[in-house]
Structure 1
Amino acid sequence: MENTTNVQYDEGSIKSLDWKEHIRLRPGMYIGKLGDGASIDDGIYVLVKEIVDNSIDEHMMGNGKTIEIKISEHRVEVRDYGRGIPLGKVVDCVSKINTGGKYDSGAFQKSVGLNGVGTKAVNALSNYFKVSSYRDGKSKNAEFQQGVLVNESGEDPTSQRNGTHIVFEPDATIFKNFRYIPQFLNNMIWNYCYLNAGLTINFNGQKYISQNGLLDLLQSKSDEESIRYPIIHLKGEDIEFAMTHGNQYGEEYYSFVNGQYTTQGGTHLAAFRESVVRAVREHYGKDYAPEDVRSSIIAAIAVRIQEPVFESQTKTKLGSNTVTPDPNSPTVRTFVNDFIKERLDNYLHMHPETRDAIKKRIEQSERERKELAGIKKLANDRAKKANLHNKKLRDCRLHLTDLKNDLRYESTLFITEGDSASGSITKSRNIQTQAVFSLRGKPLNCFGLNKKIVYENEEFNLLQHALDIENGVENLRFHRIVIATDADVDGMHIRLLLMTFFLQFFPDVVRNGHLYVLETPLFRVRNKKETIYCYSEEEKQAAINKLGSKPEITRFKGLGEISPEEFGKFIGEDMHLEPIILQKETSIQKLLTYFMGKNTPERQRFIIDNLKVEKNIEELAMAV
């Protein structure tokens, strides 16, 4: 062990970093985790949000009805038509910490960003960053590289409309092998529109606009066949909510603060969940169990408050408990509760059909809960005993629930099938952050079955306990759940069966971006000097052309054929993960019915058309 007793500690040991050096050294403090774009909460999406949020704040203050956004795999452009940054402060606003207009609550009363850090973080973490401000017939430009100013213009005359234009390219030395996934961006843009009815966003040549706010959001997340009554949509000053009940398992919420999608909820969502139960109990005069009132609910809640306090710079969870800086103002909890108590009660009195439908849904949930109670207790007792010696789970040391450790975002559970594949991953994994759950064969097709099967089927029950998702995703132990199967027809079938399990019983796992498929190389091409792993026929051909003179080519037919030493290269920093993404317009029930229901002629034609070559077998599984 190194002797540290004689290490010198004096004035020279104390270092001060300037703003950009600190951001680049500790990016997690400013944008959460880094990532490569395979997850919706990866840093490159936070960079986009930080810039777009400023344009949204301008719109909220009544300046600019259109925002133009262009995003390629590695470059982002955002142009708004607000007031434009004051020309004399253009450089300061993007390169000096704690500089901005949002400290003046008169200029930005209910904005998302309040600490003057976001745009500076984007600047520091970009290989190229350019800001242009257009204001009253004059313009000002500044260009940066990794936060360092490299070019600055004077105040030049312009014919451009007022507003701000920002272009940036994330630094590839920080965000390694990154790419923007269009589906994630599409969902992000729609959320901005739902929260700002009437705002037009032109994104990559397509127009996005919502006229009815959260009503449109809920209509996009459900279909008329699955909801039990027409969506309730109520708006007040600084608060809006929409809700209905469906037939799905669990609770489905979309919560927002000042236009920010708070994926982890917070005070406002907790208040909403409590308030709905209280209002329903008082309206019907019955002491319903909270879980029965909220079972199968689909709801969205949005509030606008002054000086919100989020639990982190990425603003995914509201920690604030104050509506305004005035100590005499109501708390968020009281504000939400008072609105829902009055408005929901009035609505139910005026809509007796909805009133009756909610009552029937609650009573159905109550019956289902009581039917499950007996088997649930037996299954949980079995699971507790099995967990002591769970041969299916090879756990890791750090988990998503370890809130004080940044490595929690690396926590990963590989779900694999067969002893050989499980063995390869187990021997090559990082024991700190990577766990393995072994299936004994193809899991049960649970399509059309009720949730009793999760408890009756030992494998499903142990899986839900390994993940700790029995009561929702709040206690999820792994940030990434990775389906690791062979790239053949049987492997694709297992993928579909596991996707069915999560989509049917735990859709929030998919909806919140936790489910992935592991891509392992199909070929190894090598000669005596170099080895190249290839994930497609095209890559194989390129490798052959590069190495020349008839290299050795190995085709990996199954995960078990890949040695643990090699496997370690495919589940490390350069791991290829394909996220399972629910599109905005996706109906889970229709999706499952199509892929996992009876073999309709339409699906038979789809399979025939898409199972001609191996590449398309993979596309079939990813169609979900």
Structure 2
Amino acid sequence: MNVSVHNYDESKIKTLSSLEHIRKRPGMYIGRLGDGSNQDDGIYILLKEVVDNSVDEFIMGAGKRINITIEEDGWVRVRDFGRGIPLGKIVDCVSTINTGAKYNTDVFQFSVGLNGVGTKAVNALSSHFRVTAFREGRFASADFAQGVLQSKDEGETTEKNGTLIEFLADRELFPEFVYDPKYIERRMWRYAYLNAGLKLYLNKSLYYSANGLLDLLDKELDGENIYAPIYYKDPTLEFAFSHLDSYGENYYTFVNGTYTSEGGTHLSAFREGILKGINEFSNKKFINTDVRDGIVGTLAIKIKEPVFESQTKNKLGNTEVRSWIVNKVKDAVSSTLYKDTAMAERLIEKILRNESVRKELQSVRKEARAKARKVAFKIPQLKDCKYHPSKEKPSKEGEENMIFITEGQSAAGSIVSSRDPLTQAVFSLKGKPMNVLGQKLALLYKNEEMYSLMQALNIEESISGLRFDKVILATDADVDGLHIRNLLLTFFLHYFEPLVKLGHVYILETPIFRVRNKQETIYCYSEKEKVLATKKLQGRGSRQLAVETTRFKGLGEISPKEFKQFIGPDIRIKNVTLDSLSEVSKVLQFYMGKNTPERKQYIMENLVPVDQI
């Protein structure tokens, strides 16, 4: 390799402007780009950064309404009625890094955007960006293109005080992006729940909560809770929680209005405070797992200088928040239980049931582990990969590892032969897994296949031990394959719901048809794609070519050489998401429960003739 070491001089040193740096390294500021098909895609981060600024105005007592419009062509407009950016600083505030009032805690006490980057990133990553500020009968505006100032204007106005931000995400960076309404709606409701009294209008639809996190918890519980929620609120801390008759624990945590999907020090302190509060009231020494199993909680804190583990703010790192959160939660929980003895009795009963189940499981676990050790040191159905993320070294964007859960040896053989052994593992099911709906946790240890799957994922003790970034269900695109997919989803939702909630579970999409002539091959994922591909490859008029169409009945019919491209860089996977915890039990009961006549009637009423598909 010939590398010159003599041409390293002053001409090789480059200094990028702050906005040029954002465009060159967008992942450092918004996490990922994407096309809008994933809730963490960049276009949603851009929208969030702008709305966050408007919500900060409400938090500081200026403006109780935010109008948000998202056009079909991708244009976004956010108008708040806060104090408005000082007119002489609108250009600096949206284009110069480390400029903004959020460094001044007299003006913004509990802001998310302390790093002064948010709106600048939106500006830099937009093909068109316009900011207009209204203050005391005057306005000032500025237009930008890819972060570069194009024009300015100012004058008199009759508009109410506030700020209007308009932007169009740059299609050079976000090609063919589309805002998904369900992701936007979820974000709007979070803003509403976190800011009781704030009215958000999205394309004229109102999002409003009068009771804050209590409303969010009630929505998630949907009346299935064992006792009335324990609720507390002061200027810097708000929380609510109750228990369901289910496994696992679920929390929705926020810092200064931002959803921290990975939790952090505030969540660990919250859990510790609940345990201490219950033990103080009951004068017992319950352990954390018995207290937490079945819990659903919401938590929001406000701190002046939040430290997040990334720009996208998924996890809080401030250690100094622990002690005051633990003490406030402990005192609030014990005080509430002393005041409501009926509630306290139901809560203690739930914890005692959890304790009983745990003790029953101890002997079953011991027996299952001993049996597994006798069979083999390795999990027989697992073809592992070499790389696994850890807390010390988490995966980077685009470098995640994954495990494919597939049915039968033939399908597993195709994936094993074509996979990347560094980052892709395969777990092959021997047959259809059991329908676990309504089954006790002990079944996990008595069923060899379920136990092996749990061990392969390393989620027995905690979801945090998960050895893979993505758990991908790879089943055939036929009735049996879809049934196995539903059984696996039931398994995860019933026993390991947080795995789905945190976005680790995916569905692999593989082609149903292969359409080809002598010159070209097209793989089709639907009947519609097949029709279009056939027309394309046939040609027109007298020059029509012979076209061969193959229907893949199962994954095992796809050759390893072909399969490699379907699980390579262009892999098609769909993330399994939860709209609401309260919907999970209803959906599982309907599709997987013992209500066969009801399901049969539903199928009969919703059958679609083949010629209409």
Q: What TM-score do the two structures reach when normalised by structure 2?
A: 0.92
Q: CA deviation at 1:198?
A: 1.1
* Residue of structure 2 in register with 1:584 after alignment: 580
Match of 1:215 in 2: 214
Letter in 2 for 1:501: F
Structure 2 gaps of 5+ residues are none
Name the CA shift for 1:120/1:240 in 2 (closer, same or farther; >3 Å): same
* Map of 1:198 onto structure 2: 197
Residue of structure 2 in register with 1:259 after alignment: 257
Higher mean displacement: 517-526 or 244-253: 517-526
Structure 1 letter corresponding to 2:86:
P
1:126 and 2:142 equivalent?
no
> Distance between the aligned counterparts of 1:249 and 1:469, measured in 2?
13
Q: Match of 1:285?
A: 283
Correspondence for 1:350:
339
> Alpha carbons of 1:76 and 1:519: their partners in 2 closer, same or farther (altered >3 Å)?
farther
**Residues 9 and 404 (structure 1), Cα distance of their counterparts in 2 relative to 1, 3 Å cut:** farther
Residues 441-471 of structure 1 show CA distances to partners (whole Å, capped at 9, x for unaligned) of 2111111101111222222222222222223
What residue is the counterpart of 2:595 in the other structure? 599
Secondary structure of 1:524's match?
strand
Matched, 1:488 2:487: no
- Answer whether contact 2:143 2:152 (CA < 8 A) is retained: no
Moved more, 432-441 or 114-123: 432-441
Q: Which residue of 2 aligns with 1:325?
A: none
Equivalent residue, structure 1, for 2:231: 233
1:415 match: 405
Check conservation: 1:102, 1:113, Cα contact below 8 A: yes
Tell me the residue number matched to 2:426. 436
Match of 2:181 in 1: 182
1:398–1:408 CA contact under 8 A, matched in 2: no
CA distance, structure 2, for counterparts of residue 610 and residue 57 of structure 1: 47
Q: Which amino acid aligns with 1:85?
A: I
Question: C-alpha displacement at 1:614, in angstroms?
Answer: 7.8
Q: CA deviation at 1:425?
A: 2.3
Write the deviation string for residues 464-493 of structure 1: whole angstroms up to 9, x where unpaired.
Answer: 222222233223222222211111111110
Residues 199-242 of structure 1 show CA distances to partners (whole Å, capped at 9, x for unaligned) of 11122432111111111111111132x31111111112311111
Partner of 2:45: 46
Residues 551-570 of structure 1: pairs in structure 2 closer than 5 A: 551-570=547-566
Residue 570 of structure 2 corresponds to 574
How far did 1:569 drift? 2.7
CA distance 1:78–1:438, change in 2 (3 Å):
farther
Match of 1:452 in 2: 442
1:89-488 aligned within 5 A: 89-149=89-149, 151-175=150-174, 178-224=177-223, 226-321=224-319, 331-382=320-371, 388-401=377-390, 403=393, 405-407=395-397, 410-488=400-478
1:482–1:518 contact (8 Å) kept in structure 2: yes
Query: 1 CA distance for matches of 2:210 and 2:498?
Result: 27
The SS at the match of 1:299 is: strand
Partners of 2:222 and 2:582 within 8 A in 1: no
CA separation of 1:424 and 1:80: change in aligned 2, threshold 3 A: farther
Is the Cα–Cα contact under 8 Å of residues 133 and 163 in structure 2 kept in the other structure?
Answer: yes
Amino acid at match of 1:188: R
For this pair of structures, how many residues does the alignment match?
605
Cα-Cα RMSD: 2.5
AA aligned opposite 1:215: L
Give the deviation of 1:350 after TM superposition: 1.0
Looking at structure 2, the residues matched to 358 and 117 of structure 1 have their Cα atoms a distance apart, in angstroms, of 45
Structure 1, unaligned stretches of length 5 or more? 322-330, 618-624
- Following the alignment from structure 2 to structure 1, what is the Cα–Cα distance between the partners of residues 352 and 511? 51
Provide closer, same or farther for how the CA distance between residues 139 and 605 of structure 1 changes in structure 2, counting only shifts above 3 A.
Answer: farther
Secondary structure of the structure 2 residue equivalent to 1:532: strand
Residue 531 of structure 2 corresponds to residue 541 of structure 1: yes
Give the partner amino acid of 1:347.
T
Q: 2:605 & 2:510 partners in 1: Cα distance?
A: 25
Aligned equivalent of 2:522: 532
Q: Contact between 1:187 and 1:584, CA under 8 Å: does it hold in 2?
A: no
Instruction: Tell me if structure 2 keeps the 8 A contact 1:193–1:213.
Output: yes
Deviates more, 1:103-112 or 1:530-539: 530-539
Structure 2 CA distance for aligned equivalents of residues 439 and 479 of structure 1: 20
Separation in structure 2 between the aligned mates of residue 117 and residue 311 of structure 1, nearest angstrom:
15
TM-score (norm 1): 0.90
The answer to whether the 8 A contact 1:397-1:433 is kept is: yes
2: CA distance between counterparts of 1:449 and 1:422?
28
Instruction: Name the SS of the counterpart of 2:286 in structure 1.
Output: coil
Confirm or deny: 8 A CA contact 2:275 2:330 kept in the other structure: no
| Structure 2 letter corresponding to 1:169 | L
Q: Compared with structure 1, are the counterparts of its residues 524 and 288 closer, same or farther at alpha carbon in structure 2 (3 Å cutoff)?
A: same
Change (3 A) 1:347 1:603: same
Pick which of 536-545 and 439-448 moved more.
Answer: 536-545
Structure 1 residues 586, 78: CA separation in 2 closer, same or farther (over 3 Å shift)? farther
Q: Which residue of 2 aligns with 1:19?
A: 18
Q: Spell out, residue by residue over 1:315-345, the C-alpha distance to the aligned partner (whole angstroms, 9 max, x if none).
A: 1111113xxxxxxxxx422221222222222
Read off the aligned partner of 2:90 and give its amino acid letter: V
Read off the aligned partner of 2:568 and give its amino acid letter.
Answer: G
* One-letter amino acid matched to 1:608: M
Question: How far, CA to CA, are the matches of 2:170 and 2:375 in structure 1?
Answer: 46
Shift of the 615–209 alpha-carbon distance from structure 1 to 2, 3 Å rule, reads farther
Q: Contact 1:40–1:513 at 8 Å: present in 2 too?
A: no
C-alpha distance in 1 between matches for 2:611 and 2:404: 22
SS of the counterpart of 1:15?
coil
Distance in 1, matches of 2:386 and 2:128, equals 38
Contact 1:172 1:178 in 2 (8 A): yes
Change (3 A) 1:21 1:83: same
Corresponding letter in the other structure for 2:355: E
SS at match of 1:44: helix
Residue 495 of structure 1 and its aligned partner are, at CA, apart by 1.1
C-alpha change, 1:350 and 1:206, in structure 2 (3 Å) is same
More moved, 137-146 vs 58-67: 137-146
The structural deviation recorded for 1:385 is: 7.2
* 8 Å CA contact 2:130, 2:142 repeated in 1: yes
The SS at the match of 2:578 is coil
Identity within the alignment, %: 51
Pick closer, same or farther for the CA change 1:298–1:616 going to 2, 3 Å: farther
The Cα of 1:507 is off from its aligned counterpart by: 0.8
Q: Which residue of 2 aligns with 1:328?
A: none
- 1:153 maps to a residue whose letter is K
Other-structure match for 1:621: none
My pick for the range that moved more, 384-393 or 188-197, is 384-393
Question: What are the superposed Cα offsets for residues 153-203 of structure 1, whole Å, 9 maximum, x if unpaired?
Answer: 311443433322323333444345644333222222211111100111122
Partner Cα separation in structure 1 for residue 418 and residue 585 of structure 2 = 38
For residue 404 of structure 1, report the CA deviation from its aligned partner: 5.1
TM superposition shift of 1:520: 1.8
3-state DSSP of counterpart to 1:202: strand
Partner of 1:80: 80
2: CA distance, partners of 1:175 / 1:294: 41
Cα 1:223–1:532 shift into 2, 3 Å: same
**Residues 183, 581 of structure 1: 8 Å contact kept:** no
Compared with structure 1, are the counterparts of its residues 468 and 203 closer, same or farther at alpha carbon in structure 2 (3 Å cutoff)? farther
Q: Relative to 1, partners in 2 of residues 1:279 and 1:586: Cα closer, same or farther, differing over 3 Å?
A: closer
